[in-house]
A = this chain, B = another copy of it.
Amino acid sequence: MRDEPDAKSWRWVRDWALGRIRGRDWAPGERIPDEAHIAADLGCARSTVNRALRELAAAGLLERRRKGGTRVAALPVRKATFEIPIIRLDIEARGHRSGYHLLASELKAPPELVRRGLKLREGTELRHLTALHLADERPFCVEDRWLNPATEGAEAADFAATSANEWLVRNVAFSEGSIAACAQTATAELAALLGCADGAALFVLERATWVESTPITWVRLTYAPGYRLVSEL
């Protein structure tokens, strides 16, 4: 009985619909009543029902099509939203002091993998930055980044003082891109940087970033053993 949204609120309608789905009053794959009917039944405005069902559709529980009506998803695809913070804040949120060392910075042609990931034409040179992030003086994560030098302000930025990770978040407002997570065996080089055993299993995030179709950066973050990316569903 606590935190119960008022009837007529879109949250209440959403929860009501959720109850119908969970209780199998509306079976998977089955069509549910249209917005106007539900609104009339519940005594609220159609736009309220629309808001509620739209949220459930965004969560993957309903499938909606004009004229086709709304159906309960037969095989709902779970969507897990992970928050990817700035590394420094991630470290601090885990209760450590953060540190940072720039290891290398040079202009050169990126490897094939990066060039394809950013959809660049052959011959383009990018700034290659390598850096180590520390948590309480201990290696936390290796940042291996390729940055488009044409990015406004990038060539003037001091990446020895501020990580490219943080500089980008602060200075390149919003971006499209792709992200991938995988596991990788520590090479001798990574093991030395991260202070872990050669061959250890490392968690890796790879991200490609554009702003309005302009390639900005490609980065691989390799975390020291034990790192976990967590999310509430």
Contacts and interface: CB of A to CB of B under 8 A. Distances in A.
Interface of A: 18, 21-22, 24, 28, 59-61, 74-86, 89, 169-170, 173-186, 199-204, 207, 209, 211-212, 225-233
Given A169-B75, A204-B183, A177 B81 contact: no
Contacts of A83: 60, 77-80
Contacts of A76: 169, 173-174
Contacts of A84: 77-80
Given A179-B231, A201-B185, A231-B180, A82 B85 contact: no
Shortest 8 CB-CB contacts between residues of A and residues of B? A183-B183, A201-B201, A183-B203, A183-B201, A78-B84, A185-B201, A22-B173, A180-B230
28 contacts: A18-B173, A22-B173, A22-B211, A24-B173, A61-B174, A75-B86, A76-B173, A77-B83, A77-B86, A78-B83, A80-B82, A80-B83, A80-B84, A81-B82, A82-B181, A177-B232, A178-B232, A179-B231, A181-B228, A181-B230, A182-B229, A183-B184, A184-B201, A185-B199, A185-B200, A200-B201, A201-B201, A201-B202
A123 to B, nearest CB: 27
Given A75-B89, A183-B202, A200-B201, 5 more contacts: A81-B82, A178-B230, A178-B231, A183-B183, A185-B201
B200 A75 contact: no
Nearest to A207: B233
Nearest to A185: B201
Contact of A28 (B21, B78, B170, B182): B170
B79 A176 contact: no
Most buried by B among A176, A183, A184, A201: A183
A75 to B, nearest CB: 6
A170 B78 CA distance: 12
Contacts of A174: 18, 21-22, 59, 61, 76
